[in-house]
Amino acid sequence: MKNFTLLSILFLGIAFNSVFAQQAEELTNEEKSELKKQMKEDKKAVALEKAELKAAKKEQKLSEAVVKAEEKRISNLQKSQKKYDKALTAKQKAEIKYAKQNLKIEKAKQKGKTETADIAKMELKLKKTEISIQEAQANIDKYQRDIERYSSNSPSKVEDEEN
């Protein structure tokens, strides 16, 4: 009997041990599933953070590009205005020179002492000055168009026209 009792205690111990082991294994399975859920949630949170960071970087780059385009537009506008003023001054000087040369030719013709070759040279210089006036006017027109283009408040329009 004593052996039977020991034997039954031994079997009961083994049975309880296997039941406890199974419960422990079930707990670890539950813990594993909870851990997996937590990992999935963490991955989703990290992915969401990455997406937000990427969107913020994209927005920052866009705003930087807008600022840079505006700075370039202003710079181009200032350059065009300087070139316009320079071309306008050149045209005015050429017109003054033209008027002086024309007056000189008229005086020479009135005196009658000047040879035709000298008058021809003067008229050639007059034509060159006339061409200079036309070139200056072309530059003025060009820079005026540039000023009008860069004066607009749309930086993207300026970038499109430059490309």
Predicted confidence (pLDDT) per residue in 99-122, tens digit: 999 998 888 888 887 788 888 899
Cα torsion angle, 32, 34, 36, 38, sign? negative
**Digit-coded pLDDT (tens) for 29-42:** 778 788 888 888 98
Q: Is the pLDDT of residue 60 over 60?
A: yes
* Rounded-to-integer distance, Cα 92 and Cα 60, Å: 48
Work out how many domains the chain is built from and give that number: 1
* Rounded-to-integer distance, Cα 90 and Cα 84, Å: 10
Q: Is the pLDDT of residue 1 over 60?
A: no
Mean pLDDT of the chain: 84
Range of the structural domain that residue 132 is part of: 2-162
Three-state DSSP at 54 gives helix
Name every residue whose Cβ is closer than 8 Å to that of residue 144 and which is 6 or more positions away in sequence.
84
Model-wide pTM > 0.75: no
